[in-house]
Amino acid sequence: MDPLLQAALDARNNAHAPYSNFRVGAAIEDESGRIHTGCNIENATYGLTLCAERVAVFKAISEGARKFKRIAVAADTATLTPPCGACRQILWEFCGNAELTLVNLQHKTETFQLKDLFPRPFDASFLD
């Protein structure tokens, strides 16, 4: 299996999801080939919950990574689960039009370019 997909599946095992039991893992490959992972972390107030994709991006940024090639998101769903809107915005801002692969526990996959899931994104170009 692709190491990026396996890293997302493995990260899913670390999810803290006592309220929804919806465990998600994410992995991001930076330009040097390093893989940064994240999992969803729920909070009793729900609004303070962090998705796996945002955890992976913020972790990668905090470790010095700045350019990214690929993203993988893993969940235990028959229908592959794409990132939520907030995560799409963060992924676009930090990863641009990166390749995004969704994977489930049965190793079913689907791959997109981020622009296909997030057409007409808002980014820094609108702030000029």
Are the CB atoms for 70 and 101 separated by under 8 Å? yes
99 is catalytic: no
Give the span between the Cα atoms of 76 and 86, in whole angstroms.
Answer: 21
Of 108, 112, 107, 105, the residue nearest 23 (C-alpha): 105
3-state SS, residue 28:
strand
Of 31, 53, 63, 93, the catalytic one is: 53
Q: Any idea which residues carry the catalytic annotation?
A: 53
